[in-house]
A and B are shown apart, each in its own frame.
Chain A
């Protein structure tokens, strides 16, 4: 996995949280894509991607999140975003994806939704 991206997986009831730290770009995004795909393949279809540790994300990262959302929905689940910082919020807003993803302030909020 790319050194500028750290992923951590935790379970909160039936919600699987993927905590992402670092920068998500063309170099690091494949690692995130692979991890989310593995989770869906293993039957975890309710996923929250915690972006509070993401300092930077470009459209490659957005593509991975869209792909993850599609996979989860096809499996009858969901993929939500948690705690994106201002630069990521701006990218989501410009692309209109802030209307596509459920965005929560905290993992607890995502878990109870």
Chain B
């Protein structure tokens, strides 16, 4: 049996202005691998939520990092989360209701992708990981 495996990485500045770029990157990959449009929409939201969580934490390297592994038609997404206990590095104001919404982020991601989990990647960094299909 033949298997195919590819890896894709997107590294962006820790700046909310680049969250839309992360969404576009993820959507383009999903469409490249012929995921249906409903899945692409769910992925768009999940990536946005994961990046928002990442920006709510102190990043280890001042950047947002998105890794995607494609293996036999399955895509595994990892968004580096940084230290969620540390203060945010972004200059964007974080009003209390937005902070409350940050609590909704993980709830939304796990509702869309049931295997979503906060794990540790190969470099020992905390990541939010989920897969499609």
State the main secondary structure of chain B at its contact with A. Answer: helix
Q: How many residues belonging to B are interface residues under a CB distance threshold of 8 Å?
A: 30
A62 in contact with B17 given A26-B52, A27-B92, A33-B95 (CB within 8 Å) = no
**Nearest-CB residue, chain B, relative to A93:** B111
Which of these binds chain A: B2-10, B77-85, B96-104, B122-130?
B96-104
A63 in contact with B97 given A94-B111, A95-B107 (CB within 8 Å) = yes
Whether A27 lies near B20 (C-beta < 8 A) is yes
8 A Cβ contacts from A24-44 to B: 25-27, 29-30, 33
A23 in contact with B98 given A58-B48, A59-B104 (CB within 8 Å) = no
Nearest-neighbour CB distance to chain A for B98, whole angstroms, equals 4
Whether A60 lies near B98 (C-beta < 8 A) is yes
CB-defined contacts of B96 to chain A, threshold 8 Å: 67
Choice from A26, A56, A59, A63 contacting B92 with Cβ under 8 Å: A26
Q: How many residues belonging to A are interface residues under a CB distance threshold of 8 Å?
A: 25
B117 lies within 8 A of chain A by Cβ: no
B73 lies within 8 A of chain A by Cβ: no
**Nearest-CB residue, chain B, relative to A95:** B104
A27 in contact with B16 given A91-B45, A95-B104 (CB within 8 Å) = yes
Binding site for A on B (CB under 8 A): 16-17, 19-20, 23, 41, 44-45, 48-49, 51-52, 55, 90, 92-93, 95-102, 104-105, 107-108, 111-112
* Nearest 10 CB-CB pairings of A with B: A63-B101, A67-B97, A27-B16, A59-B104, A59-B101, A26-B16, A63-B97, A63-B98, A58-B48, A94-B111
| New A-B contacts (17) at CB < 8 Å, excluding given A60-B102, A63-B104 | A4-B20, A26-B98, A27-B19, A27-B20, A29-B98, A56-B44, A56-B45, A59-B102, A61-B101, A62-B104, A63-B99, A63-B100, A63-B102, A64-B95, A64-B98, A66-B97, A95-B107
A-B contact pairs, 19 of them (CB 8 A): A25-B19, A25-B20, A26-B92, A27-B16, A27-B19, A27-B20, A33-B98, A58-B108, A59-B102, A59-B104, A62-B101, A63-B100, A63-B104, A67-B98, A87-B45, A90-B41, A94-B107, A94-B108, A94-B111
